[in-house]
Structure formats: structure tokens, C-alpha cells
Amino acid sequence: MRRLIRGGMLVDDAKIVRSDLLIEGECISQVAINIIPEPDMEVIDASGLYVMPGGIDVHTHFNIDVGLARSCDDFSSGTRAAACGGTTTIIDHMGFGPTGCSLHHQLKVYHEYAAQKAVIDYSFHGVIQHVDDAILDEMRAMVEEEGISSFKLYLTYQYKLDDPAVLRALRRLKEVGAMATVHPENDAAIALRRSEFLAQGKIAPLYHALSRPLECEAEAIARMINLAKLAGGSPLYIVHLSNGLGLDYVKLAKAAGQPVWVETCPQYLLLDEQCYQRDDALKFILSPPLRPKSEQDKLWVGITEGSLDVVATDHCTFPYAQRQILGKEDFSRCPNGLPGVENRMSLLFSEGVMSGRISASRFVELTSTKPAKLFGLWPRKGSLLPGADADLVLFDPRQNDVIRHQNLHDNADYSPYEGFVCRGKPVLTLSRGDIIARDGHFTGQAARGKFIHRQPFQHQEKEAQYGQS
Ligand code: DUC
Ligand code: ZN
Ligand code: ZN
Ligand code: ZN
């Protein structure tokens, strides 16, 4: 099967060129100014459309049990929603398993969750619940045999790691060619503040935010950067950055040549702490919490100047009905997380590209190419090079789209972005050459997604540098 995408504006992370693109089977086979259609080619007219690498969302939590509740999107609903919004690959986070369980135990659980369900290609980040010799020994096999080349360290929640455990993990991850990703928040400071608020009867959602101020996050970012340096310069990826002070610490480290990268999410760019004054404030409980509007502006500077590397979602769905039951009497009983996997591409296209803050190439870098390079997927994913998987999203800048939860495909009962007007719309999503979504509806086959065996980090770092030169 050959598909010819004609007359579109092809966008990669470096340039925009009006060009045609030919797909043969699952891969891109040719990119050229004028490809003559042949009888066996299905022609897709892309005039007026941006043709870009499909989105890569490296931060989702399908099926995760956070103790208070289990998130209600699985690999079927979550990846369908992703596809409808122009995302063609996800890296989900393995959730916590039984105390003391091995890395391979959780990998098996997650393979079972995803197989026969995912409709787009996928991988997993490992999760380091505890550190001992057995876990450290397993890491190499995870990278070399299982294709899992990144691991999450939590500094808060049930399985938070202490500094010696973090140091030991970072040293070994560097050795085996894996990226450490971190949820940085100072758990002890948060626990103290939370217990003080609750003792005073301060149970409203606003106190969720006040119990974890930005200093808790920024302190933990600085600590992780220094521990990564002490570990010999292990590669470090900071997830869901919500504030400017944390970004300043990252910029210092980057300026000193330390291998540190940072992600933010649409909610931190577009929503702010005013949401905690609303009657439905429980809809916005997540960690880190939403910040003052002034922090949004600092993150947008990072997006435009290049110090922020990736925009992902942290998609983690708990319905409003459930939040009300669990969290009405006590903010700390409300499970944390926001949905958004279907809206990431549209929101950043609208508020980034259409608003004139960033170029379409920078959009591709943030949503697809950089995550692919950092997490061992490039150039198979995140590129328009011949030989790459034909994972594409076609955006129409002439169409507006109003976000309504009733039109989304996740299992939530609300959208935090309800009523938001997006300028520009993903009108076609292709995954390995298949048309899997059109005009916001899923058109692909069930369970067609494949597990992607990712490359070790070291290898990708070299390619990434090569690609940027
Ligand atoms: N924060 C959330 O709000 N939800 C899931 C995990 C996380 O770190
Ligand atoms: Zn987190
Ligand atoms: Zn997360
Ligand atoms: Zn639909």
C-alpha cells in the first residue's frame, strides 16, 4: 500500500518546506517537492495543512494505582484519546507493584496491560520503588534485553527514595545507559505543612496547593541536579516543571554542561492557582499543583528561548464524581492527576504556534523530536526522514476547535480545559502508515499498537548531538 501526502507544509524540528511525502507500507519512503502520483497510490490532499511527525507523549499514567484510587484510563481508552489528538507514541509509567517486587515483575504486568489494548505504539518507563543489589543488578538487563532505557525516581509519595538510594540508582543508571527521570518535590516539607493545615481544619482544595508551594519543588530539583553530578554526571530528566525557580536551577546546570533536561505540561502553561477558588476546584488537584499566573509566564519564556525541552501531559485520570466522594472532606484524600492526552498537541499548537510564540519547528521539537531523541526512539519516531515510521499528524491552521469533554475519548467525566478555544486542529493522524484518526474520531483498528524496544540513552545522546549540528 502506498500513500502520497501532497502539497502540505512539511515541518521537522529544523525547517518548514512545502513538499510531498510518500509512504510505502509502514514507513516514509520519500520526501520530495513534486512526487508524481501513480495508479497504486492513495493521494491525500494536504494543501493548507502542516504535515508533522506524530506527537510523542512521554508522560502518561494509564491503569496506575496511586493508593487512593486507580486511574480510569487503560491502554485502550488512553491511546485512542491520544490518537484522536495527534499523538502516535506514548511512554507510560509503570505503576508501583507489591512492596519489594522486581523490575521484571512490573514490566510483565505492564506488557499485559498494554498488549491487546494499545492502538498506538508504546513503551514504558521503569519505576524504582526501592534500591538494593538485586534491583541494581536488574537494570542492565532491562536496558539491553527489554528495551527499557529510562527509570522514574519519586521523591514523594509512598515509594519515595532517600538520598543514598537516589545516588546508588543514578550511578548504575548512568553505567547501563539509562535516563533517570524524577518527580521532584520535598516530601518532608509537604508532609509537615499538610498535617498543620489539616489540624486547623483547612480541608479545601486550595490547601492542597498551599501545602506544596513551589519552593518544595525547586528545592528537590536543585538537590537532584547535585546528586546527578555527584553520581558522575548521570543523565537526568525532570518531569512536570511548574515554576520559574526550578527552571533557573536547570538553566544553571545546563550552562555548566550537565546532562539535564526538563519537561513541562499544558496545565502549567495554561491553568493557574485561580482554579482552586472555583466550586469545582477538586477537578484541578494534581502534584505539583497549579501555580500563580506569573509562573506560567516564566515557563513560556523557557518554551520560547529553548531552555525547556519537552511538553508532555502527565495524563492521569480520576473522574470528578470520584474526586468529590473521596476529596470533599479532606483535600489529601483526593487522588492527584489531570487528564489531557488528547489535548496536548492542540493546546500547544494554538497557544504556541498560532499565537506566534514559537515556530512550527519548535512545536515539533517539543512534542516529538526531542522526546524521541532523549528516550531512545529517534530516528524511527519523531522524524520525517525516509525509513522512519510513517507516524504523522496533519494540522489545519484554518480550523478552530472548542474543547468539550463530550467529544473526547478518555474515560474521565470532565476536561480541565472545557470551553477552551484551540486555534488549529489535528485533522488526520497516521500511525505506521495507517489512518487512525480523522477530524477528532478514531478510525483505526483495535489493539494495533506495538511495543517499541528503545535504544540505550548513550547511543541516543550521540545521535542527538549529531542531529543538532
Ligand atoms: N502527579 C499527579 O498529579 N498525578 C500522577 C502522578 C504525579 O506525580
Ligand atoms: Zn509526578
Ligand atoms: Zn506523572
Ligand atoms: Zn469519536
Summarize pLDDT for 171-229 with one digit per residue, the tens: 999 999 999 999 999 999 999 999 999 999 999 999 999 999 999 999 999 999 999 99
Is residue 447 predicted with pLDDT exceeding 50?
yes
Neighbours of 244 (CB within 10 A): 18
Which of left, alpha, beta for 337 (phi over 0: left; psi -120 to 50: alpha)? left
**187 Cα–ligand 2 center, Å:** 12
Residue nearest to ligand 1 atom 6, measured at CA: 337
Task: Note the pLDDT of residue 283.
Answer: 98
Is residue 464 predicted with pLDDT exceeding 70?
no
**81 Cα–ligand 4 center, Å:** 9
Yes or no: say if 317 and 337 are a contact pair by the CB < 8 Å rule. yes
Task: Note the pLDDT of residue 406.
Answer: 98
DSSP helix/strand/coil, 181: strand
Is residue 462 predicted with pLDDT exceeding 50?
no
Q: Mean of the pLDDT values across residues 306-318?
A: 98
Domain 54-378 is found in CATH 3.90.1150.10: no
Compute the distance between CA of residue 314 and CA of residue 93 in angstroms, rounded to an integer.
9
Yes or no: say if 181 and 237 are a contact pair by the CB < 8 Å rule. yes
Compute the distance between CA of residue 453 and CA of residue 144 in angstroms, rounded to an integer.
10
- Per-residue confidence band for 458, with pLDDT thresholds at 50, 70 and 90: confident
CB-count exposure of residue 60 (10 Å: 0-12, 13-18, 19+):
buried
- Per-residue confidence band for 465, with pLDDT thresholds at 50, 70 and 90: very low
Mutate to test the pocket of ligand 1, among 263, 315, 336, 338 (most ligand atoms within 8 A of CB): 336
Mutate to test the pocket of ligand 1, among 93, 286, 341 (most ligand atoms within 8 A of CB): 286
**376 Cα–ligand 2 center, Å:** 21
Least Cα distance to 89 among 124, 111, 52, 56 occurs for 56
Cα dist. 111→56, 61, 382, 444, 452 in Å? Answer: 19, 14, 23, 21, 11
**156 Cα–ligand 2 center, Å:** 9
Q: Give percent above pLDDT 90 in the chain.
A: 97
Residue nearest to ligand 1 atom 2, measured at CA: 337
Nearest ligand to the C-alpha atom of residue 442: 4
Stronger pLDDT, 89 or 468, i.e. the higher one:
89
Neighbours of 38 (CB within 10 A): 10
Cite the DSSP H helix spans in 200-242: 205-211, 214-230
Neighbours of 306 (CB within 10 A): 12
Q: Mean of the pLDDT values across residues 52-58?
A: 99
Q: Mean of the pLDDT values across residues 85-90?
A: 99
Task: Note the pLDDT of residue 103.
Answer: 98
**335 Cα–ligand 1 center, Å:** 9
- Ligand 1 pocket, CB under 6 A: 61, 183, 286-287, 314, 316, 336-337
- Per-residue confidence band for 358, with pLDDT thresholds at 50, 70 and 90: very high
**239 Cα–ligand 3 center, Å:** 7
**463 Cα–ligand 3 center, Å:** 27
Q: Mean of the pLDDT values across residues 365-388?
A: 98
Task: Note the pLDDT of residue 463.
Answer: 46
Task: For residue 229, give every residue at least 6 positions away whose Cβ sits within 8 Å of its Cβ, in sequence order, or none.
Answer: 253, 258
List the shell of residues around ion ligand 2, using CB closer than 5 Å. 183
Neighbours of 241 (CB within 10 A): 28
Q: Are strands 260-264 and 310-311 parallel, antiparallel or unpaired?
A: parallel
Task: Note the pLDDT of residue 453.
Answer: 98
DSSP helix/strand/coil, 229: helix
Residue nearest to ligand 1 atom 1, measured at CA: 287
Atom of ligand 1 nearest to the CA of 285: 3
What is the rounded average pLDDT for all residues in the chain? 97
CA atoms within 13 A on the CB side of 216: 23
Q: Are strands 150-154 and 41-45 parallel, antiparallel or unpaired?
A: unpaired
Residue nearest to ligand 1 atom 4, measured at CA: 337
Task: Note the pLDDT of residue 466.
Answer: 37
